[in-house]
Structures are given as structure tokens and as C-alpha cells.
Amino acid sequence: MAKKAIVRAAAAQLKPVLNNAVATTEKICDMIRASAAEGADIIVFPETCVPSYPYFSFILPPVMQGAEHLKLYDQSVIVPGPITDIVSAAAKECGMVVVLGVNERDYGTLYNTQLIFDVDGQIVLKRRKITPTYHERMIWGQGDGSGLKAVDTAVGRIGALACWEHYNPLARYALMADHEEIHCSQFPGSLVGQVFADQMEVTMRHHALESGCFVINATGWLDDEQINSITADPKLQQAMRGGCNTMIISPEGRHLCDPLIEGEGIIYADMDMRLIDKRKRMMDSAGHYSRPELLSLNVDLTAHQHLYNNEKSSDRNIKAESL
């Protein structure tokens, strides 16, 4: 259960430094320190904001993406590595839980990865988006189910999903059934326009109600100069404006502060963790309101590998005795 009765949450609407992981990470650490000065216990950053969401994949046809994709490889994050060490140090310095989206590089493949740092700077969850959406499939590999779980932190039990993973009801239910208290959601922002922001509004509030948890949602934001650097096509430029809706929602489906839909900034709200019991007393979707003998979910939480050592112990003993 939650360790504090009142948890002060921060959600960052970040303007990344395109193609520059170090500079973006420096901005992230500045925001961590600024939110700590405001008394925040947890801060959530947008989807793959280090170095930035691959907006080019939404604009360019596959045959034209090579150069930009390789730039992303050069700036992507090895976990653990120098970039995560910087964020870890900031989280520990400020005594804050930090939820960060990164482009993770694992040898020859990139992943859409969510990281949760606890107040001691330790990474307590690394999960990869299980199915990249539409154009994203040209950029990232598929994650496995090992991250479809909630983890205990200094501020409570946290689960996380990225963007349209929220339209996979079984993925959401995996976190509900693992009793998440704070759901951390990340979207890219600056895509599709107002319809994207409207969809987030419905989706985040519904998940809060259904899960009986708090939701902290963070989206990215690009200014006109950045958008113009990605495409010169006025129609495509228009498609990259809007789509931002950074918000903090209670288990009763209510906004705890005004959402941020334009510009860079941080919003704050105090989360009264007692509201979780108030909601679940009436409707606990993974407890008294469920019917597991009728409806249940099978989740493979294995962290799959490409190489397994299937050598039997008896075979190893025989080899050892022959040496």
C-alpha cells in the first residue's frame, strides 16, 4: 500500500532538444530539481523524450527514413549507462521518484522504453512497449511482458504504459490486477491535433475510474521552429501541432489541477492516497467486482532471451569429471 497519505505529483510537458540526448537529459534534471523545490515526490516525463520521440517516422516514407533513424541510434540510451546514471543521480539528490521515457538501444535494435527510478536512484522497472503503433513499427522492436507489472516505490505501487498501449485492455488489466496505485502514462504530444488530446482525456480518466488509481500523464511538445525543422510541408506541419494533454487524475476520474495543453511546463497536484480505498470500496475491478472463475487473464511475465543454456546439470557434472 501507499507509504504516504499525501503524495505530491508533477507531470512534465517537455520540449526535447532534438537529436541531442545529453542536452535533453540536462533539461530533464533541471525539471526534476525544480519540481523538488515545489515539494514534488514523483515526476513523470513524456514518451521516449530522450533524445526525443521519432517524429520523423510520422512524416517520412520508410525509404526516406534511414538517415534520421541512424541519428536516433546514435543518440539512444543504453540501460544502464551514462544517461541513466545522470538521471539516477538527480533522483537520488532530490529524493524523488522519476518516470522517464527513452529510446533504448540494445545492440542493433531500438525499443520504446519506460524507466522508473526510486528515491535512492535505483531503476526499479524497465519495460518496453509491447507493440509499437503503426509507423513506429519501422523504428522500434517489440517488448515482452516482463514489464507488465506494478512495482513498489517510496510513494506507492506504480504501473506504466505508453501511448496507445492504453487501448489494449488486457495490458491495462495486468496492471490493475497487480494493484497499481499510481499509473504513469506517457504520450509523444505534438501529433494529430486536438483529436489526440481529446482521446487522452477520455482514456486517462477512464483508466483512473476502472483501476481505482491515480493517473499521471505526460506529453511532449514541439515549438514551431522544431516542427519546421522536421518538415517543410504546411499540411504535415499542421498535423504536428496540438495533441498535448498533460494531466493528473484522481481515482474518481477528476482532474486534480488544470491540464497543460500548450507549451512547455510542469503541473502539480496533491494526491490523497485514501481516495483509492474510497473508490475500491465500491468497485474493485481486481477484487470483489471481478469474477476470476468466469473471466481471467494469462500473462507471460518472462523476460525472453535469444540464447538459453539448456545443458543439463548431469551433463555439466560429466564434463567436469572428465577434465
Q: What are the catalytic residues? A: 47, 129, 163
Q: Which of 256, 142, 261, 133 has the alpha carbon at shortest distance from 190?
A: 261
DSSP assignments along 228-281, one per residue = HHH---HHHHHHTS----BEEE-TTS-BSS--B-SSSEEEEEEEETHHHHHHHH
Q: Which of 73, 75, 101, 74 has the alpha carbon at shortest distance from 87?
A: 101
Query: How far is 72 from 104, CA to CA, in rounded Å?
Result: 10
Which is it for strands 6-13 and 265-272: parallel, antiparallel or unpaired? antiparallel
Q: Which of 97, 284, 252 has the alpha carbon at shortest distance from 184?
A: 97
Backbone angles phi, psi at 178, to 5 degrees: -95, 10
CA-atom Rg of the chain in angstroms:
20
Look up residue 246 and give its three cell numbers.
498533460
Q: What region, left, alpha or beta, does residue 144 occupy, with left being phi > 0 and alpha being psi -120 to 50 degrees?
A: beta
Q: Are 73 and 141 in contact (CB under 8 A)?
A: no
Query: How far is 291 from 24, CA to CA, in rounded Å?
Result: 46
Neighbours of 79 (CB within 10 A): 17
